Amino acid sequence: MSPAHVRDVRHLGDFTATPRMLLITALALPVGAASAGLAWALLRLIGLITNAVFYGRPGTALVAPGAVHHSPWLILLAPVTGGLAVGILARYGSEKIRGHGMPEAIEAILMGGSRVQPRVAVLKPVSSAIAIGTGGPFGAEGPIIMTGGAVGSLFAQLLHLTADERKTLLVAGATGGMAATFNAPLASILLAAELLLFELRPRSLVPVTAAVSVATVLRYGLLGSGAVFLSDAPLHLTDAVYPLCVISGLVSAGLAVVATLAVYASEDAFARLPVHWMWWPAIGGVVIGLGGLVVPQALGVGYDVIDAELTGSITLGTVVGILVVKTLIWSLSLGSGTSGGVLAPMFMIGGALGALEAHVFPSVGPGFWALIALAGVLGGVMRSPLTGVVFALELTHQYAALLPLVIGATTAYAVSVLLLRRSVLTEKIARRGYHLSREYDVDPLEILFVGEVMSSDVVEFTADVDVATAYALLDEETDDYAAWRQQLYPVVGDAGLLGVVTRGDLFAARDAGAHDRPLGELMVADPVITHADQTLRHVAETMAVHEVTTMPVVDRDDPRLVVGVVSLPQLLTGRARDQQEARERERVLRVRLVRS
């Protein structure tokens, strides 16, 4: 295309943003503040129940259920009692509180118009605190995501907002709670982009970032500003470490696959039980109690164990016990439909795997291999490698491990997506009959223009032409019935475009016997139009809004001058080009040997 014929695209921008984005950002600020308060309250509630059940004392500090010796009956019966309470709350309160939070949040976003019931905002944190406080091997982050998301959704439901705007406030609350829990603002924003928003656009990213920022600042006063698992020991990285990070990623992927399959094998097993699902969490509690008798450290959130793994102060026996028992009781009990999150268990299980690898791999620094495997398991289970890497960095402030973390998490992610169709987060959604794609790319319709696909050889009529004459003129066009395939015909006059008449309009008029009726009476005045320099995506959206499948294309400087017609089948050109680039292989460069 010569410089004189360069297409003018100054009306298009890199992003679609309107001033309304600022309004949603302002609304996201109180949502972020509320989510920080909810995160603090949930952690305190978990501490209160744990202290009361396992230590018989008042207190809200987070403590480990298995830090001291307890009666075997307490270890066995506490999770059963907690599971029974969760089952009752789910049956008579809201079934939405079952599960680990993120699939439920995703389902609310994709299938529920980002509407969450008010009772979920109350029952989800209570049920999760009961499940975890009575020894459940779960994390608080999933319930916080669902609870913060519920508050954001409820706030949005009180206002006159679109479903997309409700989604933004729901995710703002969810990720604000995450940031407040782990002091990991960037990882929380990435979690939103990779798992919850299903888009990367200013209209949602800016409000979510604002909410996360507010929640993190408030977290400093509520829970402190330091790293949750500070690991500031120097690392001694050598060239041999990086290939070993690949091996660690492969092993982490294997563990992630096994854990994912175990969760849904457990869910299938519970579904076959001849009892109501209300009793399943109590049965899962039996599994938790038996595991707690073997390895008490596997009970509860386990932040103390994760800290020991990441600082290299954990014993080999505890590592093996955590790796086996925690994986089993977490996956089996989660399949029962109880209430609890997946991140903290993945941290502990991944850290245990890495701590075991540290006995085989060369020493790099205290807790280094635990950190690599933690990110690898997270990347493999959640299929969110960037979130896994940034989480690991923000949790420990061990920024020297950036490249090893990238290698390990991406390796685990690559193996996981090849071996499993869906993750532990999306399998539950698929089992409810919905499909979720987590691949994001540029819409091929966004980079093609109307002028590249439109029909420029257009049949037009004047307003005084009657139906019979129009039929005769169309029959005269013998070019493979192209005139009849046009479907929409511009009606023009001295001033240019007056309206349009469709092929269906002509058929209906003929069948009604209105052969002498002029097209000026049949036409649709002020039709929906587009321009040759508009993108196909804009045309597709316009067609969807106005419920049309064909549009006249007019000159941008002279809207009465018709330059073509674009129809729905022509929009497939963009998709066809995208498929061609994905499937057709070609050798672009060839090397030619020159012989003397």
Q: What is the dihedral of CA 198, 201, 203, 206, to 10 degrees?
A: 100
Answer yes or no: is pLDDT of 5 > 70.
no
Q: What is the pLDDT of residue 88?
A: 93
Helix (H, G, I), strand (E, B) or coil at 499: strand
DSSP summary character for residue 531: E
Ordered strands of the 562-567 beta sheet: 530-531, 550-554, 562-567
Q: Poorest-confidence range of 205-209, 240-244, 501-505?
A: 501-505
Per the structure, the count of domains in the chain is: 3
- CATH code of residue 205: 1.10.3080.10
H/E stretch holding 497:
strand 496-502
Do 194 and 275 fall within a single domain? no
Q: How far apart are the first and last CA of the chain?
A: 41
Do 272 and 389 fall within a single domain? yes
Residue 4 maps to a domain: no
Local confidence band at 6 (pLDDT 50, 70, 90 cut-offs): low
Contact at 8 Å (CB) between 408 and 376?
A: yes
Phi, psi for 524 (deg, rounded to 5): -95, 115
Residue 358 maps to a domain: yes
> What's the rounded Cα separation, in Å, for the pair 384 and 378?
7
Do 467 and 391 fall within a single domain? no
> What's the rounded Cα separation, in Å, for the pair 237 and 363?
9
Answer yes or no: is pLDDT of 2 > 50.
no
Q: What is the pLDDT of residue 117?
A: 81
Do 357 and 483 fall within a single domain? no
What confidence tens digit (pLDDT) does each residue in 159-170 have?
Answer: 989 888 999 999
Do 32 and 136 fall within a single domain? yes
Do 146 and 246 fall within a single domain? no
What confidence tens digit (pLDDT) does each residue in 96-139 have?
Answer: 888 766 777 777 777 777 788 888 888 888 888 899 999 888 88
Do 163 and 266 fall within a single domain? no
Closest by Cα among 82, 85, 66, 134 to 292: 66
Contact at 8 Å (CB) between 298 and 321?
A: yes
Contact at 8 Å (CB) between 256 and 377?
A: yes
> What's the rounded Cα separation, in Å, for the pair 267 and 261?
10
Phi, psi for 254 (deg, rounded to 5): -60, -45
Do 391 and 484 fall within a single domain? no
Residue 591 maps to a domain: no
What confidence tens digit (pLDDT) does each residue in 69-103 have?
Answer: 889 999 999 999 999 999 999 899 888 888 766 77
Q: Which residues contact 449 (CB under 8 A, 6 or more apart)?
A: 7, 532, 533, 534, 535, 536
Q: What is the largest CA-CA distance in the chain?
A: 97
Residues of the domain holding 52? 20-223
Residue 595 maps to a domain: no
Contact at 8 Å (CB) between 574 and 566?
A: no
Q: Which residues contact 371 (CB under 8 A, 6 or more apart)?
A: 231, 310, 351, 354, 392, 396, 398, 401, 405
Last residue of a domain, one of 223, 253, 284: 223
Residue 7 maps to a domain: no
Residue 6 maps to a domain: no
H/E stretch holding 427:
helix 427-431
DSSP summary character for residue 198: S
Do 205 and 255 fall within a single domain? no
Q: What percent of the chain has pLDDT over 70?
A: 96
Contact at 8 Å (CB) between 151 and 34?
A: yes
Closest by Cα among 143, 134, 147, 141 to 49: 134
Closest by Cα among 489, 497, 492 to 470: 489
What pairs with residue 501 in β-bridges? 489
Do 373 and 421 fall within a single domain? yes
Helix (H, G, I), strand (E, B) or coil at 393: helix
**The two structure tokens encoding residue 93:** 């309160």
Helix (H, G, I), strand (E, B) or coil at 285: helix
Closest by Cα among 382, 453, 381, 430 to 196: 382
Do 347 and 479 fall within a single domain? no
Within a 10 A sphere around the Cβ of 375, how many other Cβ atoms?
36
Orientation angle between helical segments 368-382 and 303-311, nearest 10 degrees: 130
Last residue of a domain, one of 173, 189, 223: 223
Do 559 and 452 fall within a single domain? yes
Answer yes or no: is pLDDT of 452 > 60.
yes
> What's the rounded Cα separation, in Å, for the pair 96 and 115?
12
Local confidence band at 53 (pLDDT 50, 70, 90 cut-offs): very high
Residue 232 maps to a domain: no
Contact at 8 Å (CB) between 292 and 299?
A: yes
- CATH code of residue 475: 3.10.580.10
Residue 233 maps to a domain: no
CA contacts within 13 A on the Cβ side of 357: 30
Q: Can you say whether residue 114 is alpha, beta or left, with left for phi > 0 and alpha for psi between -120 and 50 degrees?
A: left
Contact at 8 Å (CB) between 99 and 428?
A: yes
Q: Poorest-confidence range of 182-191, 329-338, 389-398?
A: 329-338
Last residue of a domain, one of 155, 188, 223: 223
pTM, entire model: 0.84
Amino acid sitting at position 192: A
